[in-house]
Amino acid sequence: MWPWRRHVAKIAVLVAVFAVTTAAANTVREAAAEAAPTPGQLYYLQNVTTGLRVQVASGSTAAGAAIVQGTASATTTQAHWRFAPVEGTSFYQIVNRRSGLCMDAGAASVRVVIRQSSCVNLPTFTHWTVGTAGTNHTMTGRRSGQGLCVIGDLNLSNVPLVSDVTPSCDYRFTLIPV
């Protein structure tokens, strides 16, 4: 066997490994892109278990208003949310259409009620990652490290959403384009 053939065989193996690795990385990137919300698109965030949608309590436009689950018609702008990418990070701010305020996880304590607040004051409290759980989505607060959730199987309107890490919470939401 010629010595150069041995090198050609090694190079061929390296090229094949590179091609497989690149294809796998592209698949992961494509899956992440599919999971990510489209910037500028308005969504309903519908809890998978309760079927209720995330909205601002009483349609308030005031900072500090609680984020709750409830029934929402197609014209209920208090239940319309936009995911605004935070420049230079993988985080989003979840902005309410009606108030223009962001979902705020508040302190890093367990079961803190999610409220809306200014998107510029204490910004890390308003930063969220968006993950997938099968065909559904999860939102996790940057500062708290806890998920946006509905406690238990509460099929009631006006139940506040909280940040939590316990199994009794339902973290799964469907993003429905408005």
pLDDT single digits (tens) 61-83: 999 999 999 997 767 899 999 99
Q: What is the CA radius of gyration of the chain?
A: 21
Work out the average pLDDT over 53-68.
96
Taking residues 9-29, report their average pLDDT: 40
Q: Residue 13, by phi and psi: left (phi above 0), alpha (psi -120 to 50) or beta?
A: alpha
Q: What pLDDT does 2 receive?
A: 53
Summarize pLDDT for 145-177 with one digit per residue, the tens: 899 998 765 788 888 999 988 777 888 999 999
- In this predicted structure, the answer to whether residue 85 has a pLDDT above a threshold of 60 is yes
Instruction: Write down the residue that tokens 């014209």 correspond to.
Output: 75
